[in-house]
Amino acid sequence: MNSFLKSFLVLLMINIFASAQPLPKTFQQLLNQTNMQFSFPPDFTSIPIIQNGNVAYDFAIKSKTSSLEIRYRVWPVDKKQKNPNTLFGPMLVTMGLNISNGKVMKPHPYPRESVKKEFGADAGSTGITTIDSDFGKGYKQCMISVIHKDDVADAYVFYLYNTQDELMGAITAEKVYHALKFK
């Protein structure tokens, strides 16, 4: 291999690795513990967690091209709980209530075949609510998606947005909507 090609390949690899954003250690540990993977979507950057009294989360990213923010919460299943594989649905509704200051959100279950194929999960659901809490100050709406893997974990994804176009851009972009999934 000639020296020009070697130099080019070295520079290319440096550029690829330099542009990859590291995940926070605690979030990476949760992913490892729950056999999940996160692929950083293009045109997003990580942002600090904002402490609030409504809903805790583990990691957040923000779009570089719109006001869209996405927050992630990974919850390992507690096998000591009674019926631990049925808690993700009520938790989704509870989080919606906390974010909206008590407005009831109607969840829509994912088809089992789709959630298995797309996320490696056994079940999942999604819903949209208005934001009326410290959780989403500065945003109008929040779509919450949950994916569940039996006896492993629940993963909640919060899409905070102001316009329908921002949300549609995220959920139709493969690398954004499927950034977090089970292996």
Q: Say if pTM beats, i.e. exceeds, 0.95.
A: no
Give the domains, in start order, of the chain with CATH numbers. Answer: 23-182 (3.40.1000.10)
- Six-digit token string for 51: 């402490």
User: From first to last of its 183 residues, what are the pLDDT tens digits of the chain?
Assistant: 555 445 444 433 434 443 467 899 999 999 999 999 999 999 999 999 999 999 999 999 999 999 999 999 999 999 888 899 999 999 999 999 999 999 999 999 999 999 999 999 999 999 999 999 999 999 999 999 999 999 999 999 999 999 999 899 888 888 999 999 999
- CA angle at 155 for the pair 149 and 156, rounded to the nearest 5°: 140
How far apart are the C-alpha atoms of 173 and 141, rounded to whole Å?
Answer: 19
Sign of CA dihedral 113, 115, 121, 125: negative
Query: Which residue type does 162 have?
Result: N
Strand 44-47's sheet: what is its strand order?
44-47, 59-63, 69-76, 153-161, 141-149, 123-130, 108-109
- By the 10 Å C-beta count (0-12 exposed, 13-18 middle, 19+ buried), 46 is classed as middle
